[in-house]
Amino acid sequence: MKLKKQVTVCGAAIFCVAVFSLYLMLDRVQHDPTRHQNGGNFPRSQISVLQNRIEQLEQLLEENHEIISHIKDSVLELTANAEGSPALLPYHTANGSWVVPPEPRPSFFSISPQDCQFALEDRGQKPELQMLTVSEELPFDNVEGGVWRQGFDISYSPHDWDTEDLQVFVVPHSHNDPGWIKTFDKYYTEQTQHILNSMVSKLQEDSRRRFLWAEVSFFAKWWDNINAQKRAAVRRLVGNGQLEIATGGWVMPDEANSHYFALIDQLIEGHQWLERNLGATPRSGWAVDPFGHSSTMPYLLRRANLTSMLIQRVHYAIKKHFAATHSLEFMWRQTWDSDSSTDIFCHMMPFYSYDVPHTCGPDPKICCQFDFKRLPGGRINCPWKVPPRAITEANVAERYLFPALVWAWSWHFCSLEESGDLPQEWDAQFFNYQRLFDFLNSKPELHVQAQFGTLSDYFDALYKRTGVEPGARPPGFPVLSGDFFSYADREDHYWTGYYTSRPFYKSLDRVLEAHLRGAEILYSLAVAHTRRSGLASRYPLSDFTLLTEARRTLGLFQHHDAITGTAKEAVVVDYGVRLLRSLVGLKQVIINAAHYLVLGDKDTYHFDPEAPFLQMDDTRLNHDALPERTVIQLDSSPRFVVLFNPLEQERLSVVSLLVNSPRVRVLSEEGQPLAVQISAHWRSATDMVPDVYQVSVPIRLPALGLGVLQLQLGLDGHRTLPSSVRVYLHGQQLSVSRHDAFPLHVIDSGSSDFALSNRYMQVWFSGLTGLPKSIRRVDEEQDQQMNMEFLIYGTRTSKDKSGAYLFLPDGEAKPYSPKDPPVLRVTEGPFYSEVVAYYEHVHQVVRLYNLPGVEGLSLDVSSLVDIRDYVNKELALRIHTDIDSAAPEVSKEAAPAGCTEAPHTTHCSGLGRLQPQGW
């Protein structure tokens, strides 16, 4: 009541001051001595000025009156329900724009300098290698490299090791893709299970044998299908060091497209499985096949207590440079780290690939002669036409090429890739190499000690040789910061096409990820409450199985041939079915948990799988279908909508729902009426969906908390605020749907620029393209350029073309030129405004929220691309801006196709690939 009186008095004072000012001005005019001296002839120009000022004052008085009226309404609503949150009641200003009153609580909190102290500290000694600097300095000229173009020559002397033996570790491993040419299950059935079965039997035959495995997803499936005796043998092999599980992730993930949440999640899932079933803790990371390497992975591995790691797919020019400067092993440090807390020791494999011909030395023709899987009569041979020969006592001395190779690459370990689904292939590799090792180790004059080893065997020997603890920096090794993107293996074959290949499934990945996080939080809260309340027996604890399945599905899709979009079509379909199945399961978990948590009387909770208490706000009919939103059927009885905020901080957001009538009242959980924006729901650029309407309401949700809205049939003219719509046809003869509830203005041929604004910014759009041109913040005087344009890249006519992996354009990008100019639809309302541009192949939405806080400072851009008419083309959204980011002008390219969804926003990045695979 005190606040109400203060606002009323303040408003009355403003009104009195304005009226009194007007009275003084008029009184001064009447008593102006100059006017009397001129015989009462007042200059007409001054009269005109006075009239304009009076009109301005009247306008200001009217606006003040409107503001005071709305403030009074807000105060009345606040005092009527002191326990509820105040409604955001917008109002129109005299110039026609919507204004939302400021909130009583601050939108932002001040940041203490201590919160970012690491940014203020002295960085100390800078890393010797910074990849931005290295990339700027290298010419990337692809000069002839010796035995193969992207290779390099190595000079050496066998006498370099006369004082100390050269230790050689041959690391047998089998790289198994959890889906690529074949599906996950087909790979397992036809190959992987046989490899693992052979591994157990062959390692037990000789304790000197070693084997490295990385993909826990396959290992877990195999474990579920073996007997107790074989499980015990596996535990023994892990315990005595013959078998090492490297990295320990559910998969060997891609490092460009995967979100860090999913990277962590698949790592946790794999590590927990290993601890629970084998009692094993991974020590070393093994990443031989991701298409480029991110600095995020060494950070995550170090935080997971791994001490060393290995990477392979790095640009050939960088490998050449690092080899020449003896930098192929280094301490990898985060760019923001001021000391060594994030350091992890990293070994970069020097050559083209991770198989035998490209690991044992610089000449694949010679190395292939030591890949005994390729012995004559086998399934594969050496492309260099010089086959390997079986090692015997009679010819072992002649195989002097092998020590020459390892001398040539001293301190490097050899990687021996096993196919391994046939037992004879294991025998061929193990027997022949062991004979070679026995001969070398029996000749002290050669100064070579060779053996089978795991990855950790190699790193342990290195730490021992240099006299440091595992994970510490060995003397003489450089510190590096940065990442290893973009990757090229030869020529100008840059592996950047996979950044956006099959963007629909990249988007579905993010949808599953968001649902998984929400489901885990709600499930944890619900189960904790039931246990505390003694109601655990009523709650479906079997939902934990659905959570586990979803975590493993999400982890599986982080595989470097899954989220990248580089798998075969049938494999992609298999991934999509798995993603959708897990998404449906997570929705069930969310429904059950929200049902329990939202009840005031928990004793009334009853789980009925046949009649769920709630339903989700969208459904997908198939794995490759866009979501279809639920339309809420209104009547006189309230319909309740439960909302969940999965963030760790309170959030003010606009929530949009579909209803079957524009006559809708929305109330808070306590029954307080809320202001809403009602809009048409469109099926195309000019056609409204009949009997379907969008209601948008701002709501504040607590951190990790639930909220409830009540919707019912009715009309509150003061709070149900319709959007206004302008449609720009640009000369096209199209009929536009109309509805009495929404003001609609059709502009047949206009192309003038226009603006949308909120309390923070004004955004100007091209009237011809519908794309943004500039942004001006209200506290700045100058516009910031932000031009957007669509561009098309063609592909080469040569054999090597752009595809799932590579981006090989035929030249500079050309402007995207559709047959017809876009139809633009501009929607303006109290809580959001948007511009929708309908091109022939692209449907783009740019939305501006009229809210205090973070959402009001954001500009959301989302795009939907129909690619069915375009083949072998690349569609890019290029953004030009003059925003200062350490360069006079920055040009970015973003993908309308490669979008990731958050609860109420859509963000796009990368290049959009148009492939003949549907939406």
Whole-angstrom distance, CA of residue 440 vs CA of residue 547: 53
Per residue in 505-516, is it b (16+ CB within 10 Å) or e — as a string?
bbbbbbbbbbbb
Q: Which amino acid is at 507?
A: S
The angle at the Cα of 659, spanning 666 to 651, to the nearest 5 degrees, equals 50
CA atoms in the 13 A half-sphere facing the CB of 593? 30
For 657, phi and psi rounded to 5 degrees?
A: -130, 155
For 906, phi and psi rounded to 5 degrees?
A: -130, 130
Helices then strands (H, E): number in the chain? Answer: 19, 39
3-state secondary structure 16-60: HHHHHHHHHHHHHHHCCHHHHHCCCCCCHHHHHHHHHHHHHHHHH
The angle at the Cα of 211, spanning 208 to 215, to the nearest 5 degrees, equals 165
**Are 874 and 795 spatial neighbours (Cβ–Cβ below 8 Å)?**
yes
From the candidates 177, 289, 363, 860, which is the catalytic residue? Answer: 289
Cis ω on the peptide bond leading into residue 486 (within 30° of 0)?
A: yes
Q: Does the annotation mark 289 as catalytic? A: yes
Whole-angstrom distance, CA of residue 886 vs CA of residue 889: 9
For 18, phi and psi rounded to 5 degrees?
A: -65, -45
How many residues comprise the chain?
Answer: 919
As a whole number of Å, the end-to-end CA separation of the chain is 57
**Are 552 and 217 spatial neighbours (Cβ–Cβ below 8 Å)?**
yes
Smallest Cα–Cα separation from 98: which of 89, 87, 106, 107?
A: 89
Sign of CA dihedral 384, 385, 390, 392: negative
Whole-angstrom distance, CA of residue 352 vs CA of residue 316: 8
Whole-angstrom distance, CA of residue 696 vs CA of residue 688: 17
Q: Which of the residues are catalytic?
A: 289
